[in-house]
Amino acid sequence: MAETQSPVVLSVADLSVSFKQGASVKTVVKAMSFDVLAGETLAVVGESGSGKSVMSRALLGLLPAGSADVSGQAMLSKQGEQVELLSLSDQSLRKVRGNHIAMIFQEPMTALTPVLSIGEQLMEGILTHQPLSRSEAFELAVSMLQEARIPEARKRMAQYPHQLSGGMRQRVMIAMALACRPRILIADEPTTALDVTVQAQILKLINTLKTQYNTAVMLITHDMGVVAEAADRVLVMRRGDFVEAGSVQQVFSKPKQAYTQTLLASVPKLGSSAKQPIATIAENDAAVPLFDVADLCVQFDVREGLFNRVRSRVHAVEQVSLKLFPGETLALVGESGSGKSTLGRALLNLVPSSAGAIRFRGRDITGWSASMMRPLRKQIQMIFQDPFASLNPRKTVGALVEEPLKLFDICSDSERKQRVGELFERVGLSADDMTRYPHQFSGGQRQRICIARAIACEPRVIVADECLSALDVTVQAQVIELLQSLQQELGISLLFISHDLAVVEQISDRVAVMYMGRIVEMGDTARVINRPQHSYTQRLLEAVPVADPTKASLLNRPLNNSEIPSPVRSIFEEIPRHNMTNITSIGEHYVADDSAAVAPSDVTEDVA
């Protein structure tokens, strides 16, 4: 915890950044002033386009010299002297970069040079700034990898980035950044690309090393949960402007600005917003389920060797059984690689299933070909994660929304235009927008267009695959509202695929937790989230950052440092039967029998 009397390590005054775009000048950061204190974590928060990343890069002179115009002052105090960063020559700035101020980035997959070994990349930074021999640098690099809790550190030195997982690469980045004991670590969305359990590990690692080395951390993030868990002080930005700053407790409990209040109100908080379950459905055994899936498996062949023989398979979905009832929302929750998206696609026969049965309204549709499925698609629609990618860029949005009406001959040619207009208005857009193209809309508007397209033919089921995760949190809240009102109005069932437990809690009646292709726990949302029984569900829930500094405890809890194992299995391997037991007599709460096997306790790491 930072004390108020901690010395200032970086003092920024009137920092502005603007970009020249042809004749026009766009100011991205406007007269920002703030201090970073020794050993504290300062969170810089803002939605996309707030200028937070640009600001951090400007401090180290990493913006393109030709087009970016940086003004203002940034005083760094190092070894008792003050250095003004923004007026330094590139050569003197190089002595600061990586030495006094280090940086890590959002995308661990692309942040390491693919053709150089981990060791080379670690050592070159050390050798640039410290008067060490190569062997001393090697030893320091190894010890940094060990500090970053990377198993078999010595062996990793000779490995290349592609041999490590995303979480491991981010650990390497951290080891690299802290090797020269910088005064400040700028972490630009360091956990955004990672799964929630890995995110918890990385946040904790940054915090541990921060305390150990007395390094200040400038944590740039959009996630209020991460802020509440990890930061001492907060700086809120919006479109390049300063909004407000203060201690975490202050900003979360008494936000002064309206924008901060909206931002905080939009964040779904786990354990506080349970949806009232639709009582009539889940308990009514007589109701015919829309989807009734039994023991569904989806496997992908892995071809290897000289003759491309199948030696192993990816078990993307393994022995999944579930039912989806009319009007309800069932959430599929899991981390990347858990098979939740594949399961969603398999239900629609968009990917072939390899075993098991899918029934839709009592009819067996397992293995139906594309042409057999076509008439059925009127009743089952899908919404995707990236609304821009899922709209053909060369069609007007009007034509795109009209397409399902044409395909299923829903209304006459003359009525169609009017119907498209109504759909636009229903999802909160104007009918005048019909003639525009997808790239002329914002992310939230595009997702509304995708929703209009999905409800055009009045389906019974919508499969929504991570349809909120590409959106800013305030936009996300609006789209959730839209989805819920549409569901009430049209009685659509929703299969909601998501990694975000807080959103799931808000929107779904029942939830199924997936891990390595299997459903490990399934039941009424409130039950599963408040009283998780399976060890994986527990681990997952523990890792979710809570956007409330009074309840935040992520950094104080012991954490499991294990990674999700690979779902690739040899073709000769015997796959054990997957059993689930209902542990309650009222309603449902199924738990897989393998709870103990999934999370061995011996990998749990002690708190430093």
301: contact with other proteins by CB under 8 A: no
Pick the closer one to other proteins by CB: 18 or 170: 170
Q: Which is nearer to other proteins, 394 or 577 (CB)?
A: 394
The answer to the question of residue 435 lying near other proteins (CB under 8 A) is no
Question: Site mask, other proteins, residues 149-188, x = CB under 8 A?
Answer: -----------x-xx---------x--x------------
The CA distance from 210 to 322, in Å, is 45
Phi then psi for 314, rounded to 5 degrees? -85, 120
Whether the Cβ atoms of residue 87 and residue 140 lie closer than 8 Å to each other: no
Bridging pattern class, strands 329-333 and 510-515: parallel
**Do 90 and 61 contact (CB within 8 A), yes or no?**
yes
Identify the H or E element spanning 25: strand 24-37
Find the shortest distance in angstroms from Cβ 177 to other proteins.
Answer: 8
Near other proteins in 304-333, by CB under 8 A? 304-306
- Residue (349 or 535) nearer to other proteins, CB: 349
Does the protein bind other proteins through residue 371 (CB under 8 A)?
yes
Beta strands across the sheet bearing 24-37: 24-37, 8-21, 68-78, 81-84
Element (H or E) spanning 306, and its range?
A: none
- Cβ 378 to other proteins, closest distance in Å? 6
Out of 18, 41, 99, 201, name the contact with other proteins by CB under 8 A: 99
Contact range with other proteins by CB under 8 A, out of 2-10, 31-39, 441-449, 517-525: 441-449
The closest of 290, 283, 99 to 184, measured between CA atoms, is 99
22 touches other proteins by CB under 8 A: no
Would you count residue 442 as binding other proteins (CB under 8 A)? yes
Tell me whether residue 135 or residue 308 sits nearer to other proteins (CB atom).
308
As a whole number of angstroms, the distance between CA 118 and CA 114 comes to 9
Give the contacts of 219 (CB within 8 A, at least 6 positions apart): 41, 42, 43, 44, 187, 190, 206, 226, 227, 230, 231
Is 443 one of the binding residues for other proteins (CB under 8 A)?
A: yes
CA 120 to chain centre: 30
Q: How many residues of this chain interact with other proteins, rule: CB under 8 A?
A: 70
Decide whether 99 or 215 has the Cβ nearer to other proteins: 99
Contact between 378 and other proteins per CB under 8 A = yes
Question: 411 is written with which tokens?
Answer: 């209304």
Strands 8-21 and 81-84: unpaired
Which lies closer to other proteins via its Cβ, residue 350 or residue 596? 350
On whether the CB atoms of residues 421 and 431 are closer than 8 A, the answer is: yes
Can you say how many angstroms the Cα of residue 292 is from the centroid of all Cα atoms in its chain?
A: 30
* Among positions 388, 411, 474, 478, the unique one binding other proteins when judged by CB under 8 A: 388
In whole angstroms, how close is the CB of 497 to other proteins at the nearest point? 13
Q: What is the DSSP string of 382-402?
A: EE-S-TTTTS-TTS-HHHHHH
Among positions 108-147, residues that touch other proteins (CB under 8 A) are 110-117, 124-125, 128-129
Please report whether residue 390 would count as binding other proteins according to CB under 8 A: yes
Residue of 171, 222, 269, 453 interacting with other proteins (CB under 8 A): 453
Q: How many CA atoms lie within 13 A of 383 on its CB side?
A: 29
Least distance to other proteins, CB of residue 342, Å: 13
Binding site for other proteins (CB under 8 A): 57, 60, 62, 66, 90, 94-99, 102-103, 105, 107, 110-117, 124-125, 128-129, 160, 162-163, 173, 176, 304-306, 348, 350, 370-371, 373-375, 377-378, 381-382, 384-386, 388-395, 403-404, 407-408, 437, 439-443, 450, 453, 457
